[in-house]
Structure 1
Amino acid sequence: MQYKIRAAKREDYDVVPELMLQAMEDIVFSFIQKQDIEEAINFLTILFKKPNNLYSYENTFVAVDEDDNVVGSVTGYNGDDFYKLREPVLELMKKQYNNDMTPEPETEGSEFYLDTVAVSPIVQGKGVGSHLLKFAVDFAKEKGFKQVGLIVDLENPGAMKLYTRLGFKQGKALDFVGGEYYHMYVD
Structure 2
Amino acid sequence: MDKLNIRAAAPADADKAARLIYEAIHDIAFQLTGETTEEDALQALSELFLQEGNRFSSKQILVAEVEGNAAGIILCYHGSEADRLDAPIAARLRKRTGNPNPPIDKEADEDEYYIDSIAVFSEYRGRGIAKALLAAAEKAGAALGYGRIALNVEYGNEGAERLYRSIGYEADKTITINNSLFHHMIKPLTNLS
TM-score band (shorter)?
over 0.9
1:47 partner amino acid: L
Deviation at 1:155, TM superposition (A): 2.1
CA distance in structure 2 between the aligned counterparts of 1:101 and 1:147, rounded to whole angstroms: 29
Distance 1:101 1:155, change over 3 A: farther
Deviation at 1:90, TM superposition (A): 1.1
Deviation at 1:95, TM superposition (A): 1.4
1:81 partner amino acid: E
Preserved CA contact (<8 Å) 2:33 2:89? no
1:135 partner amino acid: A
| Percent identity for Structure 1 against Structure 2 | 28
Alignment deviations for residues 100-152 of structure 1 (CA, whole Å, 9 cap, x no partner): 42222101211111100010111111111111011100111011010001111
CA distance in structure 2 between the aligned counterparts of 1:31 and 1:77, rounded to whole angstroms: 17
Matched, 1:108 2:113: no
Name the count of aligned residue pairs.
186
Q: 2:80 matched to which residue of 1? A: 80
Preserved CA contact (<8 Å) 1:32 1:97? no
Matched, 1:166 2:170: no
Q: 2:122 matched to which residue of 1? A: 121
CA distance in structure 1 between the aligned counterparts of 2:82 and 2:93, rounded to whole angstroms: 16
Alignment deviations for residues 128-184 of structure 1 (CA, whole Å, 9 cap, x no partner): 111101110011101101000111101211111111111111110011111100110
CA distance in structure 2 between the aligned counterparts of 1:72 and 1:88, rounded to whole angstroms: 25
Return the TM-score normalized by structure 2: 0.92
Provide structure 1 residue ranges, at least 5 long, that are not aligned to the other structure: none
CA distance in structure 2 between the aligned counterparts of 1:89 and 1:28, rounded to whole angstroms: 11
Q: 2:191 matched to which residue of 1? A: none
Provide structure 2 residue ranges, at least 5 long, that are not aligned to the other structure: 189-193
Preserved CA contact (<8 Å) 1:117 1:129? yes
CA distance in structure 2 between the aligned counterparts of 1:158 and 1:43, rounded to whole angstroms: 29
Moved over 6 A (4+): none
Deviation at 1:45, TM superposition (A): 0.8
